[in-house]
Amino acid sequence: MNRLEEYEALLQELEMPMPELDGTLERAQKRKSRRNNVFRPVIGTAAAFLLFVLLVNFSTPIAYACSQIPVLRELAEAVTFSPSLSDAVENEYVQPMNLVQTDGDVTAKVEYLIVDQKQVNVFYRLFSDVYTKINADPRVYSADGTAPPPCSYSSNGWDEENGELRSITIDFVDENVPDSLRLNLKVRDFSMSGNEEPLTDAQVEEDFFEPIGPAEEEYIAEFEFLLEFDPQFTAVGKSIEVHQTVELDGQKITITDVEIYPSHLRIDIEDDAENSAWLTKLYFYIETDYGMKFEPVSNGITATGSGDGKSMASFRAESTYFYDAKHLKIVITGAEWLRKDMEKLYINLKTGETGELPEGVAFHSAKEVNSGWILEMKAVQREEGHHHQILGHQFYDAQGNVHDIRSWSSTTLEAEESEDGITYIIEEVPLADYHEEEVWVEPSYSHEWFAENPVVVEVQ
C-alpha cells in the first residue's frame, strides 16, 4: 500500500460511526449541573463561625404565586432559593430603591431591599453595552466608610446576564442591622475576545487559592451605594424565651430562645459542658398550630457558632413570620455530633493515610500545586442534590500552627460513576501556602444520630 492509499484508508477509518458522540452535549450539561459554586464567605469582624449547605436545584413554585404582582414577579423569581424571602416578596415586604450610578461603560442599579433586624438582601442589576459578561465583587462598610460591620456576606447570581437581577445577602449574627450601610461594588470583565488561550487546569487550580480577589487594575468600574434602611423594616423581629433542656443521644442541650425574623428563624442552643461531643447539626422542623411545617434553611448559612467551642449555638429554619402562629413545636428528629476526641484529623497528603475518619467519609485525593495542596475528601451523599460540609475552617501543621481554609468547592460523584455504586459528594479545599506532607484538618462532624421517637419542644 503506498502512502496515498494509506491516507485514503485512514480517512475511511475516521468515518467509522461513533454513536456515543451524539451524547457529548448532554454529558457536558449533566456534569455542569453537578458543579456547585465555590462558596467563599467574606467574614467581617464577627467572631462566630458559620455552617453552610449548598443546594443544587432550586424549586420555583413561588414564581407563579406572585404572578399577579407584575412589579415583584421578577423579584420573586430571583428569591426562589429561599422560601422565607419568597414569602417576604409575596407579602410585599420589600423596600423599593432606585439608586443608579454609571462608571465608564458600566451602570449599576440597586432596585430592592429585603431587610429585617438581622439580615439585608440587596437586589441589583448591572448593565453594559461594551462588556458582555461582567460580575461585581461586593464589599460592605459602615455608613461612614471607616470599618467593616460585624457581618458576613455572599453574592448570588454569578452567571446572570447583563440587566438580570442579582442579589447579595448581608448577614448579622449577634449585632442588629444598623440604620444604613455602604455597599461597594467593584466590577470585573469576564468576557473574552475569542483569541485568549483557554484556561489550563493549572490556572484553574491556582485561581482556587485566591479568595481575596483580583488586582485593583483589573476592575473596570466601581460603585459605592449608601443603603439607608427604612426603620419599620430594621425593627422587625422578635425573640421568644424557651429555656428547655432535652437529652439527645446521651448528650444534654438547652434550647434558650427562638428568634423569628422575616428572612429566617433561629433556634438558640446552649450545650452541657459535660457532653462528650459537640452538637454540629440539629435535624428538626418547626410545626405551627395550623399544622404547617417549616424546614431548616436549605441553602446558605444554616447554623452559627459562638466561638466558645465546636458546638453550633444557633440553627436556622425558614421563617414562620408571615404565618402569625400562636404556638410552635420544635420537632427534633436527629443530630450530627463531633466527638470531642475527634476534633483533629491526621492526613498524610502523599500517601493518603489518615487517622480515624468521620462516618461515611474517606480520603479522595491530594495534589500539590504551586500555591499549596488541593485536598479532596469524599462523603456519602445524605440527600439528593445536597452537599454538606465535610471539613472546617482551619488546618494545622506538625508544630500545631493554625492556617485558614478560605474556600470550599463541592461536586457529586454519581452512583454510576463510583466504584461501589454509591453516590458521594467530593469536597475540595485549598491548603494555601502549605507544602508539608502531613496535615491535621478539622472534620465538621464525627457521626450522625437519629431519634427513635422525635423529641418535641413546645414554644408558646
Partner 1 sequence: MNHDEFGKRIENIRLRLYKTALIYLGSETLALDAVDETVYKALCSYKKLRQPEYFDTWITRILINECHNELRRQKRFRPLEELPETATEEFDALPLKEAIRRLPKELKEVVILRYFAGYTLTETAESLQIPQGTAATRQRKALKLLKLELGEEVSE
What's the closest the beta carbon of residue 4 comes to partner 1, in angstroms? Answer: 7
Of 64, 158, 190, 322, which lies in the binding site for partner 1, with binding defined by CB under 8 A?
190
Tell the burial category of 416 from Cβ atoms under 10 Å away from its Cβ (0-12, 13-18, 19+).
exposed
**198 touching partner 1, by CB under 8 A:** yes
Instruction: Report in angstroms the alpha-carbon separations of 215 from 132, 328, 408.
Output: 21, 50, 22
| The one among 57, 68, 146, 200 contacting partner 1 by CB under 8 A | 200
**The residue type at 272:** D
Phi then psi for residue 285, to 5 deg, are -145, 165
**Side chain identity at residue 4, one-letter code:** L
Contact status: 25 vs partner 1 (CB under 8 A)? yes
* Three-point CA angle 56, 259, 156, nearest 5°: 30
Among 45, 91, 176, 191, binds partner 1 (CB under 8 A): 191
Residue 455 near residue 248, CB atoms below 8 Å: yes
Write the interaction track for partner 1 spanning residues 84-123; mark x where CB under 8 A is met and - where it is not: ----------------------------------------
Cβ nearer to partner 1, comparing 165 with 377: 165
Q: Point out which span in 26-34, 45-53, 77-85, 329-337 binds partner 1 (CB under 8 A).
A: 26-34
User: Among residues 129, 201, 216, 416, which is the contact residue for partner 1, using CB under 8 A?
Assistant: 201
Q: Which is nearer to partner 1, 236 or 374 (CB)?
A: 374
Query: Mask 129-148, x = binds partner 1 (CB under 8 A)?
Result: ---xx---------------
CB atoms within 10 A of CB 86: 24
Q: Is residue 367 a contact residue for partner 1 (CB under 8 A)?
A: no
Stretch that binds partner 1, among 50-58, 185-193, 385-393, 439-447 (CB under 8 A): 185-193
Alpha carbon separation from 232 to 123, 173, 340 (Å, rounded)? 19, 20, 44
Nearest 5°: phi and psi at 177? Answer: -65, 130
**Which cell numbers in the block locate residue 82?**
429561599
Is residue 273 part of the contact set for partner 1 (CB under 8 A)?
Answer: no
The yes or no reply on residue 73 touching partner 1 (CB under 8 A) is no
* Chosen residue from 146, 193, 370, 453 binding partner 1 by CB under 8 A: 193
Compute the CA torsion angle 80, 81, 84, 89 (nearest 10 deg): -30
Output the smallest distance, CB 101 to partner 1, in A: 24
Q: Determine, following the binding rule CB under 8 A, whether residue 29 of this chain makes contact with partner 1.
A: yes
Could you give the CA distance from residue 70 to residue 91 in angstroms, rounded to a whole number? Answer: 14
Distance of alpha carbon 339 from alpha carbon 405, whole angstroms: 21
Decide whether 10 or 273 has the Cβ nearer to partner 1: 10
Closest CA to 82 of 294, 228, 248: 294
Contact set with partner 1 (CB under 8 A): 3-4, 6-7, 10-11, 14, 18, 20-21, 24-25, 27-29, 31-32, 35, 132-133, 159, 161, 190-195, 197-201
